[in-house]
């Protein structure tokens, strides 16, 4: 896997810092405020990071954006009902 560019790494670090501080993932608006970029630029960067495998959502919720460098501990009870076959 290719290494992220300095700008991409800034977004990755911003996501990790947001989790550490708030105990939940950032929205695109949060990332825009942190990085000082327009929300359209942030949306494009989030898409690029996901496509390259550096970030991924745990669920479809807006604040479930995680980096692949983060340790994720998940139990079955953490998954939304629509993600399970119950």
Q: Does residue 39 fall inside a structural domain? A: yes
pLDDT at residue 33 greater than cutoff 90: yes
pTM of the model as a whole? 0.72
Q: Does residue 46 fall inside a structural domain? A: yes
Q: Does residue 1 fall inside a structural domain? A: no
CB 67 within 8 A of CB 54: yes
pLDDT at 56: 80
Residue 39's SS3 state is: helix
What is the number of domains present in the chain? Answer: 1
Question: What average pLDDT does the structure give for the chain?
Answer: 79
For residue 33, the domain's CATH number is 1.10.10.10
Q: Does residue 40 fall inside a structural domain? A: yes
Q: Which residue range forms the structural domain that includes residue 20?
A: 6-77
Q: Does residue 82 fall inside a structural domain? A: no
């Amino acid at each position: 896997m290719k290494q992220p560019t300095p700008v991409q790494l800034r977004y990755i670090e911003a996501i990790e810092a947001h989790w550490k501080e708030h105990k939940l993932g950032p929205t695109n608006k949060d990332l825009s405020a942190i990085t000082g970029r327009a929300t359209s630029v942030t949306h494009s960067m989030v898409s690029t990071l996901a496509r390259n495998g550096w970030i991924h959502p745990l669920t479809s919720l807006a604040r479930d954006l995680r980096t692949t460098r983060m340790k994720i501990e998940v139990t079955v009870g953490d998954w939304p009902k629509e993600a399970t076959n119950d």
